[in-house]
Amino acid sequence: MVGPIFGNPDMGRNYIVQDCVYAVILNDAGEVAVARTPKGLVLIGGGVERGESERDALHREAYEESGYKIDIHNRLGIASQYVNNFAKGRFRLKRGVFFLCKFTERLGPPVEPDHELIWLTYDEAYQQLIRPFHRWALEIGVMGEQASS
């Protein structure tokens, strides 16, 4: 399954497909874990490195961006996002696989110094996430959690 595609490609550009994984993480109060970065708010996650499984990549990214171990519960789906960086001349189609997860154990501070873990209400997160495919996954994840409660 390909899933929805967000954003607008700039015609005539060569887009590189980047495989990514992201976590929709909710606490017991129903708040959403997001990472504050210099570019804005994003779900925890990122690129899958060569030879890495989706789950291994998500465990690594969660630790790097939050300092926590996670339990991966279920796969929410796949969505893609065109990302145009005209300043750097980089054009990517980020293919994201999204999972519903929970934090389990704090291992230490985030490895990535420009990422700060913050908790937001669903509405705050939905309004402030900078990537539409992250908002899509958040909606799917929260609907699934409410249905299973």
CATH number assigned to the domain comprising residue 65: 3.90.79.10
User: Sorting pLDDT into bands at 50, 70 and 90, what band is 145?
Assistant: low
Question: Residue 97 gets which letter from DSSP?
Answer: E
**Distance, CA of 41 to CA of 26 (rounded, Å):** 16
- Candidates 39, 43, 78; CA nearest to 62 is 43
Average pLDDT for residues 123-142, to the nearest whole number? 96
pTM of the model: 0.93
- Find the domain containing 104 and state its range: 5-148
**Furthest CA-CA distance within the chain:** 47
Which residues lie closer than 8 Å to 101 by C-beta, 6 or more apart? 23, 24, 25, 58, 62, 70, 71, 72, 73
**Distance, CA of 102 to CA of 72 (rounded, Å):** 7
**Distance, CA of 39 to CA of 28 (rounded, Å):** 28
Least reliable range by pLDDT among 48-52, 76-80, 82-86: 82-86
- Candidates 37, 109, 104; CA nearest to 67 is 109
User: Sorting pLDDT into bands at 50, 70 and 90, what band is 96?
Assistant: very high
**Distance, CA of 146 to CA of 29 (rounded, Å):** 12
Residue 39 pLDDT greater than 90, yes or no: yes
User: Sorting pLDDT into bands at 50, 70 and 90, what band is 142?
Assistant: confident
Render pLDDT for 6-26 as a digit per residue (tens, 0 to 9): 999 999 999 999 999 999 999
Residue 101 pLDDT greater than 80, yes or no: yes
Q: How many domains does the chain have?
A: 1
User: Sorting pLDDT into bands at 50, 70 and 90, what band is 146?
Assistant: low
- Candidates 106, 96, 105; CA nearest to 129 is 96
